[in-house]
A and B are shown apart, each in its own frame.
Chain A
Amino acid sequence: MLLFLFSCKDKLFTGSGYLSLKHMSSLNTRGCQGQEILLLCANDTVSYSNSTAVSKKPCMNLIKGLQRVKAICRTLRVNSAIEDLSQTYYKQAYQHDHFFKVKLQKKEVLGGCCVLVSCRLLNWPITMGTISCVLDADVAVVGTIYQEMIKILCIEAPITNVTDIMEAHCQEYKISLPHVPEELAESSKDLTKHAVALVELAADSWIVTGRRPVSIMMAAVYLAWQSLKPNKQRLKFSLDKFCQIAKIDKHKPALKRIAEIKQVLCKLGKEIPWVKEEVTPDNVVRQIEDILKYRYALLRRALRTHEDTLLAECQVSGVELLPEDTAPSQNSKPVDQTPHTSSIEQDGQNVETEKQPEDGGDKSEHSVPQEHKVPEPNWGKRELFAPPCVVNPKKRRRAAQPQMRDVASDEEISDSEIDSYIRSPQEARDFALSQKLLSLSDSKKS
């Protein structure tokens, strides 16, 4: 059924009915050629937005949002390509159903996220923290909206490397002349060079992965500053004081990162042939320059020494390590990557779900209940460099659960068991009375 409206010879005709192509062509032959024939289907209403789509103008909030995106780009002093890309993404995201009806506050954060993703795509190093600072929003909120946005717009944004952000981060530290006295001043270029080298070393020794970049960068800058002129005055400077003179906010986790980096530096410092004294976290700062200069050679030496030590320990203890028990060392040959036998453990018992044909002899060993196995030593302690959480675990390893018989979902449930969960009538009455008394006393207090 159609509603139709057409004009012919300056007259307007409306009606409803069934219009076939034959009818439409007959209208043309009657001199209605060139006149508009508007056909509306009674069952499909044309919405106002669809009918006015041709002359649609961008809404005020979109215009303001685009201006805000531009302002963020100007604040961050990014190039015009990033600015244009951010605006394009903002338009796309704004008009998507997911973001169309959200609050203006969220739309502002969306603008910041568009800038962030554009910077990442065009290799402009910037952190989420910087965007959050500019927007004055919580990092977690920015993160959530960012992840929603890249999912909706199907963007594959690369991750920013910590070393790329270092240069921008170092410039925030007001540690050059004339901000500080000459004895404390360092040029941004030297500071960045040393700090980047420290971050690279930290990345090679498992300190960077999984950690927030800011605390690592702060630790690297602090140690780099101390190592550029390792005199008594600088070595006495605490991180707190350093942040004060550099006019930046201190990050507490940076203290832990400093300790971790110093431990790594000590391990490498021991390998320097011309250093006779013992290298400790207190005196390692003086050796940082040499360590960074020869770090790859020192790394190789340290790993070799560690392997030799492990081998010597094995020979002394006289224990033949079984192949399953050895963790892969960092210099081990490439291992066959066949999927391993996996077992689902429930209440301390191993139940094999899939078996691989390769090591048939090992199956029985793997199906032994947990508590009968020799507890595996922490593999992190055997490695020279491992993530600090593995080397010094805070939590105790998941202990074997008390042995429980296999539970069957359809086993019988005895009445006595269920009765233990139900109050007797007397208990129920006493409970109701106590609740009443409690509520009365609460209302009296208020």
Chain B
Amino acid sequence: MDSSNDEALDIIVTNVVATFRTRCHLNLRTIALEGTNVIYKPEVGKVLMKLRKPKITASIWSSGKIICTGATSEDEAKLGARRLARCLQKLGFKVRFSAFKVVNVLAVCSMPFAIHLIDFTKNNRPIASYEPELHPAATYRIKHLKATIQVFSTGSLTVTGPNVQNVATAVEQAYPLLFECRKPLCK
């Protein structure tokens, strides 16, 4: 057994989606008028506000619900959410930062080998599904982690889950299954 082929796998978090509430009504026109880096979308009833640091985009609804996207870690998402809440406070709203929750984390990872998707799907049915006519990747859903892994034949993985820890666990769980399918089955 050759254990010296162990390699570190870099799981790169590319997007963290978080929500929070301001516990007060927000006047979108005021935000659009007095805020910079703001895009007002009256047709859908929301305002988009972009922060430079951290680089996040927030969708703001008049009910006080806000969704932040674009952060690359959970801490960054929280910091960005707090900065946004401070911005809204400075604009004159009685904001109370509450109900902050990370709802989705998107990460990518690359295996150092190609993966035979048909073998992978056959070995892991029905958790794995693969329809080449619809999408080039096989989908592997881990129910108890609420994580979904898209497996590409090039070895790239795209993982989505409710938090970073679940995403990491999902990759670790999937690795041995992917390793088994790194070559076509011998005839």
Contacts and interface: CB of A to CB of B under 8 A. Distances in A.
B176 A337 contact: yes
A281 interface: no
A398 interface: yes
Interface string B41-56: 0000000010111100
A236 B74 CA distance: 59
A354 B73 CA distance: 17
A305 interface: no
B7 A340 contact: yes
A410 to B, nearest CB: 8
A333 interface: yes
B168 A156 contact: no
B9 A421 contact: no
Interface in A339-357: 339-347, 350, 353-354, 356
Contact of B172 (A211, A213, A339, A421): A339
A125 to B, nearest CB: 13
B133 A209 contact: no
Contacts of B165: 353
Contact of B114 (A161, A386, A409, A422): A386
Contacts of A342: 8-9, 11, 168, 171-172
| A contact residues, range | 35 or more
A332 to B, nearest CB: 8
A323 B175 CA distance: 19
Interface string B145-168: 000000011110000000011001
Given A209-B118, A359-B3, A423-B36, A344 B13 contact: yes
A411 B83 CA distance: 10
A210 B152 contact: yes
B153 A143 contact: no
A408 B133 contact: no
B145 to A, nearest CB: 14
A213 B132 contact: yes
A418 interface: yes
Interface residues of B, number: 74
Interface in B97-123: 107-108, 112-118, 121-122
B125 A336 contact: no
Given A421-B51, A423-B36, A211 B136 contact: yes
A340 B2 contact: no
Interface in B162-187: 164-165, 168, 171-172, 175-176, 179-180, 182-184
Contacts of B183: 330
Given A210-B153, A213-B132, A340-B6, A345 B113 contact: no
Contact of B176 (A210, A214, A339, A341): A339
B116 A209 contact: yes
Interface string A109-146: 00000000000000000011100000000011001001
Given A204-B184, A387-B154, A407-B79, A350 B36 contact: no
A390 interface: yes
A326 B51 contact: no
A7 B75 CA distance: 74
A350 to B, nearest CB: 7
B153 A209 contact: yes
Contact of A356 (B6, B49, B52): B6
A446 interface: no
A139 B175 CA distance: 31
Contacts of B72: 346-347, 401
**In this complex, which of B74, B131, B176 has the most chain A Cβ atoms within 10 angstroms of its Cβ?**
B131
A335 interface: yes
Given A209-B116, A213-B132, A330-B183, A335 B36 contact: no
Contact of B90 (A203, A326, A419): A419
Contacts of B13: 344-346
A417 B37 CA distance: 14
Given A338-B6, A407-B79, A128 B131 contact: yes
Interface of B: 1-13, 33-37, 49, 51-54, 72-79, 82-83, 86-87, 90-91, 107-108, 112-118, 121-122, 125-126, 129-134, 136-137, 152-155, 164-165, 168, 171-172, 175-176, 179-180, 182-184
20 contacts: A143-B134, A147-B129, A159-B130, A323-B4, A326-B5, A327-B113, A330-B183, A332-B2, A341-B8, A342-B9, A346-B13, A347-B72, A366-B8, A380-B114, A389-B153, A407-B75, A409-B75, A413-B83, A421-B87, A422-B34
Given A210-B132, A210-B136, A212-B132, 4 more contacts: A330-B183, A334-B1, A346-B12, A413-B86
The 3 lowest CB-CB distance pairs between A and B, nearest first, are: A409-B78, A323-B4, A210-B153
